[in-house]
Amino acid sequence: MSEKRSDAITKGFERTPHRALLKSTGVPNEEMKKPFIGIASSFTDLIPGHTGMRDLERFIEKGVHTGGGYSFIFGIPGVCDGIAMGHKGMHYSLPTRELIADMVESIAEAHRLDGLVLLTNCDKITPGMLMAAARLDIPCIVVTAGPSQTGSGREGKRFSFVTDTFEAMAQYKAGVIDEKQLMMCEDNACPTAGSCQGLFTANTMAILTETMGMSLPRCGTASCVSSLKRRIAFASGEKVVDLVRNNITPRQILTKEAFENAIRVDLALGGSSNTVLHLLSIAREAGVDLPLDAFDELGKTTPQLASMNPGGVHFMEDLDAAGGVPAVLYQLRDRINDNPTLLGVNIKQIVESVESVDEEVVHPVNDPVRPEGGIAILKGNLAPEGAVVKQSGVSEKMMTFTGKARCYDSEEAAMEALMGGEVVAGDVVVIRYEGPKGGPGMREMLAPTATLMGLGLGDSVALITDGRFSGGTRGPCIGHISPEAAQGGPISLIEDGDSISLDIPNRSLKIDLSDDVLAERAGKWQAPEPKIKTGWLARYAKVVTHAGTGAVCKAD
């Protein structure tokens, strides 16, 4: 290797002060000749998916030094969406994606690191890390820390955090379960470190990261507490040094073909709707033109091959045992693009290495769970620039639905109405002014959606919002409505009692009003006062775009 980025702080007499500071941290003189590898770790005691990362940091470090590099660990913040849910904290979750990308960029550039291992796990942290990797375009590899094990209960029941705890509180409120059953759920839902056990946003993003070739095989599904994850961490540390020596950078991997593969795998598994936001934002940083409609176009030729929790029966541990991401790629082998990976082999070569697939978990394409992929993009006079629904979690009965609007200008107001019995069968709950600008921060609506299911209204009430949903959401819940209410989008013009029609098979979301009536209401609409007027979220609201573009921050 003739030149390294880190030469800017290690070579020449002019860098005497820099070397003095590096030696002060303990770097031996001879080690300054080696590639400097940053380990961007989002370890924190606050997030269950991240509490096990100190162990993985050690194995990454060992791998880096075995590979001939010198490692430096630095911290990246994270927010646990489950803990931030249902209060002011959720305003901060999506915006931290931008902070994370900016922080990784800042440290890598300021310290002239030659390469990065991005140790991550949860919802906004993984996409933030990937955005930074694509933006920096220096050698990077991602290690996602992995899912938790499911909890065990009576009669063989397996508990998962999202599905069980959020729906259990509504079941308790409705008298379906007692306090003892509620406590059993609370005590058993999170038995180990790791991300939530089903195909929620964290695990979906881990799978898509592996699919795109930015992490090693099985990284996306291997359990957080497994020895396999330790070995993957070690191999990733070793590999990044090789990437630096050969100048293999993210934009060589994150091609349009890679994003299309990720979308197909997402659709085939019925993954989180939040991946729409994240893939669009990562593609933008990678310089790849990825339109929102790509999800729908690919969805029509990508059958859903797995029944994954929350909408289905299998958990991440089942998918890993079935063969993980390589097994899904194998079943989709005639539909996916060949593309390079950081491992040094192409996607098709990974497919050829698959020896067996548990087809009870990952079905073949000629025997799908559903004929279409798990995510659908809806449009109409209510969402002219698009809306997103996780159709894999919607019952057949609710694939088409018409109901009367009940409008709420915040998540809190909607939750009060739901818990107070105000919402009844035949309603369409409208939660608005919760988009990227209006929230600000596009809060996740797991509490209202889980409450609908817990109250037994999942097959008789729809919910629409310019906010977003947890990967754990199931039921007829449509999010990302664009333009959002804070921009004067049609969702801001809905009034109580208006008729709203949902038609997922035909990709339609409409309000039964004429253009003239909508225009008249638009003429009277006035932008509300911002919900948050101080701090960095006030600045974020001024520069963030709507969900249809990935809720990215404009540079100008």
Q: CA-based Rg of the chain, rounded to a whole angstrom?
A: 23
Is 444 annotated to bind a ligand? Reply is yes
Question: Is 153 within 8 Å of 233 (Cβ atoms)?
Answer: no
Burial class (CB in 10 A: 0-12, 13-18, 19+), 497: exposed
d(Cα 234, Cα 227) in Å, to the nearest integer?
11
Strand-strand pairing, 499-503 and 400-408: antiparallel
Say if residues 94 and 123 touch (Cβ distance below 8 Å). Answer: no
42 is catalytic: no
Tell how strand 36-41 and strand 70-75 pair up.
Answer: parallel
DSSP strand pairing (36-41 vs 477-479): unpaired
Tokens of 394: 């919607």
C-beta neighbour count of 12 within 10 angstroms: 11
Q: Would you say 50 and 403 are in contact if contact means Cβ atoms under 8 Å apart?
A: no
Determine the Cα–Cα distance for residues 406 and 129; give it in Å rounded to an integer.
38
DSSP 111: T
81 annotated as ligand-binding: yes
| Residue 257 near residue 377, CB atoms below 8 Å | no
Catalytic residue among 470, 499, 501, 514: 470
Is residue 232 a contact partner of residue 206, using CB atoms and an 8 Å limit? no
Q: Is 33 annotated as a binding residue?
A: no
Tell whether residue 297 is among the known ligand binding residues: no
Q: Please, are residues 343 and 362 in contact by the beta-carbon 8 Å criterion?
A: no
- Largest Cα separation within the chain, whole Å, is 76
The contacts of residue 553 (CB under 8 Å, 6+ apart) are 98, 540, 543, 544, 545
Which residues are catalytic, by number? 470
Residues of the binding site for Mg(2+): 81, 123-124, 444
Residues of the binding site: 81, 123-124, 444
